[in-house]
Structure 1
Amino acid sequence: MVGLMQSRYVSAIAASNDDLKSAQRLRFLAFHGREGVDADPFDDLCTHILVKERRSGQLVCCFRFLPLQSGSDIAKSYSAQFYELSALKDFPGSMVEMGRFCIHPEHQDPDILRVAWAAMTAYVDDNNVEMLFGCSSFKGTDAQEYFDCFAMLRDRHIAPRRWLPRVKALNVFQFAARLRRKPDLKQAQLRMPPLLRTYLMMGGWVSDHAVVDTHMNTLHVFTGLEISAIPPARKRLLRAMSA
């Protein structure tokens, strides 16, 4: 198990079918706002991470990892269904796709995200991962609600040209090309999903467009984080949390 020693929360790898079912139920609640089970074929290929309240054992956060040996395997990823990722085929190092990240809607303690990042860090270090990537989601499918976020992403965080994902999905919002407004940075930070905000603080980058995913009721951007680009001070903090 991994976690902040003084935290109310602790993380662990799902070890049973019951663990997976609990994660699938939390995912459905977080993404759809009601009871149900969110499952897909990628679940059987992934390692699932659970974050629970230490005393009660209640599941408050979950996500999954899909390991890839290098960019040559990028077409096997969940993200490749939505983004044209041929530019990443040349990435030489090991990669991990993080997906289905969600936090229980009734549990918004910032420590939950810290423990989740500690678990991510331990996994990255233990498996010599060189890039972490995935789809970072905004709740709902109305892009106008997030114009300040998208304008900030356009100005500061678009992927390097050598890795830039291209459009593949039929329903997308091409914010880098279409938005002309100057972002309100305060509003952008307030509306930015916490996971994506943390990716960006670590040196992450995003696609130049968002996919409108009506099935999951989200807008999402492809997000990449090259581990070598994480500032040393932040690496030390993350590793201290995962110790």
Structure 2
Amino acid sequence: MVMRQGEEHSPATKTPRLARNFDAVTQGGVLGRIGPLEVRLARDAAEIAAVQEVRFRIFYEELGARMKPEQRAARDCDRFDDVCDHLLVIDTTLPGPDHRRIVGTYRLLRQEVAARAGGFYSNDEFELNALVARHPGQRFLELGRSCVLKEHRSKRTIEVLWQGIYAYINHHKIDVMTGCASFHGTQPAAHAEALSYLAHYCRTEPEWDVRAVVGRYRSMDLMPREAINPRAAITALPPLIKGYLRVGAKIGNGCVIDHEFSTVDVFIVMPVAEIGARYINYYGAEADRFAA
């Protein structure tokens, strides 16, 4: 991912593939719409630059990430931006051209693209390559750099992003979504109950397990299971992580401190076939409206 901050589900036995034509994915067409919000992929360099500016406002100005000397002023950017697809949400009520109306974004890195680019972004923190190697018949997608401007952080913004993601994974026949998700700050102990809840209640099955890399591994198991108040722990989870758990995601082994972004990162693993059926039906139906 890195998915940075800016309950029940019914497992599906098989993920439906949408039957209609997904030319909208490759041609930059609208992939979802809720009220005045539209979601699609970035079409040109101006829109990618605008996405980088939105990310900078959230990660650096709001959340206190540290700038690198070589970084462009007022942009969050790295080498992966040139190879990733950038999903963006546009508020059509705002004035100006589309690249000035972007209010939310996700960065999408497919397995075959990552292979050509030297690997996934998350490899610096988690042993993602080992997971991919254990599932040679599966197609992986790394989700990252998720953020929404503060004034647009609402359920409808998240839902329209998921409409776009669902259209994208069906078009590219993605089997597994992965990536990092973050707690604010660099002290795991400050999130002891929430991290311990993830460790005791939300871990991946062995076949999907991913461990933090040697040298950066920090335990999430900071409290015994019997000391955890699940309701309080869920309340303390970042909204993004709660959203992934609702859909059916599981959490890898260990957390990592990211000093550049001032976060404690955990790893999300979401096999598409295990996404809750009600979410597949909802997002699939909505994405299908824009698939022709």
- Identify whether the pair has TM-score above 0.5, normalized to the shorter chain: yes
* Alignment partner, residue 42 of structure 1: 80
- Residue of structure 2 aligned with 1:62, choices 79, 100, 105: 105
- In the alignment of these two chains, the number of paired residues is 241
Return the alpha-carbon distance in structure 2 between the equivalents of residues 59 and 71 of structure 1.
26
**Which structure carries more strand by proportion?**
1
Residues 1:146 and 2:184 are matched in the alignment: no
Residues 1:30 and 2:58 are matched in the alignment: yes
Offset at residue 73 of structure 1 (A): 8.7
Return the alpha-carbon distance in structure 1 between the equivalents of residues 165 and 179 of structure 2.
13
Return the alpha-carbon distance in structure 2 between the equivalents of residues 36 and 48 of structure 1.
18
Residues 1:8 and 2:36 are matched in the alignment: yes
Cα distance 1:26–1:231, how it changes in 2: closer, same or farther (>3 A)? Answer: same
**AA in 1 matched with 2:92:** R
Offset at residue 48 of structure 1 (A): 0.4
**AA in 2 matched with 1:3:** G
**Superposition pairs for residues 102-181 of structure 1, below 5 Å?**
102-168=147-213, 170-176=215-221, 178-180=222-224
Return the alpha-carbon distance in structure 2 between the equivalents of residues 141 and 84 of structure 1.
21
Residues 1:79 and 2:107 are matched in the alignment: no
1:102-123: per-residue Cα shift (whole Å, max 9, x none)?
Answer: 1112322221111111111110
**AA in 1 matched with 2:199:** R
- Residue of structure 2 aligned with 1:197, choices 242, 250, 263: 242
**Superposition pairs for residues 206-221 of structure 1, below 5 Å?**
206-221=251-266
Where structure 2 has 5 or more consecutive residues not aligned to the other structure, the ranges are 1-29, 63-72
1:177-203: per-residue Cα shift (whole Å, max 9, x none)?
Answer: x43263222332222222221221122
* Alignment partner, residue 183 of structure 1: 228
Return the alpha-carbon distance in structure 2 between the equivalents of residues 222 and 121 of structure 1.
20
3-state DSSP class of the match of 1:100?
strand
Offset at residue 124 of structure 1 (A): 0.7
Asked if structure 2 preserves the Cα contact closer than 8 Å seen for 1:11 and 1:50, the reply is yes
3-state DSSP class of the match of 2:104?
strand
Asked if structure 1 preserves the Cα contact closer than 8 Å seen for 2:83 and 2:117, the reply is no
Q: TM-score of the superposition, structure 1-length normalised?
A: 0.90
**Larger Rg belongs to:** 2
* Alignment partner, residue 230 of structure 1: 275
**AA in 1 matched with 2:132:** L
Offset at residue 231 of structure 1 (A): 2.2
Offset at residue 33 of structure 1 (A): 2.2
**AA in 2 matched with 1:31:** F
Asked if structure 1 preserves the Cα contact closer than 8 Å seen for 2:140 and 2:176, the reply is yes
Cα distance 1:70–1:51, how it changes in 2: closer, same or farther (>3 A)? Answer: closer
Cα distance 1:125–1:235, how it changes in 2: closer, same or farther (>3 A)? Answer: same
1:102-158: per-residue Cα shift (whole Å, max 9, x none)?
Answer: 111232222111111111111011111100111111222232332222122112211
3-state DSSP class of the match of 2:224?
coil
1:4-52: per-residue Cα shift (whole Å, max 9, x none)?
Answer: 34x2311111111111111111112211225821111111110001112
**AA in 2 matched with 1:224:** V
Return the alpha-carbon distance in structure 1 between the equivalents of residues 203 and 118 of structure 2.
21
Return the alpha-carbon distance in structure 1 between the equivalents of residues 205 and 117 of structure 2.
17
Q: What is the root-mean-square deviation of aligned Cα atoms in Å?
A: 2.3
**Looking at both structures, which has the greater relative contact order when contacts are Cα pairs under 8 Å and sequence separation is at least 6?**
2
Where structure 1 has 5 or more consecutive residues not aligned to the other structure, the ranges are none
**AA in 1 matched with 2:150:** P
Q: TM-score of the superposition, structure 2-length normalised?
A: 0.76
* Alignment partner, residue 134 of structure 2: 90
Return the alpha-carbon distance in structure 2 between the equivalents of residues 28 and 70 of structure 1.
24
